[in-house]
Amino acid sequence: MIAADGSYYVRFLTAEGKPGVSKPVVAWGTDGTPLVAGKKGLVAASEYGRVERVFQDDAGVVGAVPGGGWMIHCKDDEGTAWTVPILAWTIHTDGSATALTCDADGVTSDATEGLSSYRIYHPSEKLPKDVRAELDAEFPDPEGDG
């Protein structure tokens, strides 16, 4: 076993074959197999789930900016939908940005990880009718004035 340097990740596929969660590679097997943390210790990534790819995330974070009012409308594999505010954006050395959300325990994470579908939008943006209808059904206007 060879210790990993923390920059490699394994992306797993959902049951539908779509990209799902990513887990850091903790170590490499002597045959080059990526090892990830499982419930009972290190396991080969292929034993944890269906592997989409192994990638190096070497675009370090160089800054963060507030969420700016942006929202993310999410759907999980069971079709459950919800909308949450984006807490912040991390800015990376390669120019990319990652939306972050926060759970009830105060833990921040990539807003899109593990979702079957999502839409990031700003409330000032004119949304497609189907998305607006879904949001209106989920969050009815208590004033009744739209």
How large is the average pLDDT for residues 103-129? 83
pLDDT, tens digit, 9 for 90 and up, residues 88-112 = 999 987 788 899 999 888 888 888 8
Residue 141 confidence (pLDDT) above 60: no
With vertex at residue 87, the alpha carbon angle to CA 126 and CA 89, rounded to the nearest 5 degrees, is 85
- The structure's pTM equals 0.53
- Rounded distance between C-alpha atoms, residue 93 and residue 58, angstroms: 9
| First and final C-alpha spacing in the chain | 59
Q: What is the amino acid identity at position 7?
A: S
pLDDT at 115: 80
Whether the CB-CB separation of 120 and 67 falls below 8 Å is answered with: no
Q: Is the pLDDT of residue 87 over 50?
A: yes
Report the alpha-carbon distance of residue 144 to residue 67 in Å, rounded.
28
For tokens 């887990």, what's the residue? 23
Give residue 22's Cα distance to chain centre: 8
Domain extent listing, the chain: 2-56, 61-138
pLDDT score, position 60:
76
User: Greater confidence, 118 or 138?
Assistant: 118
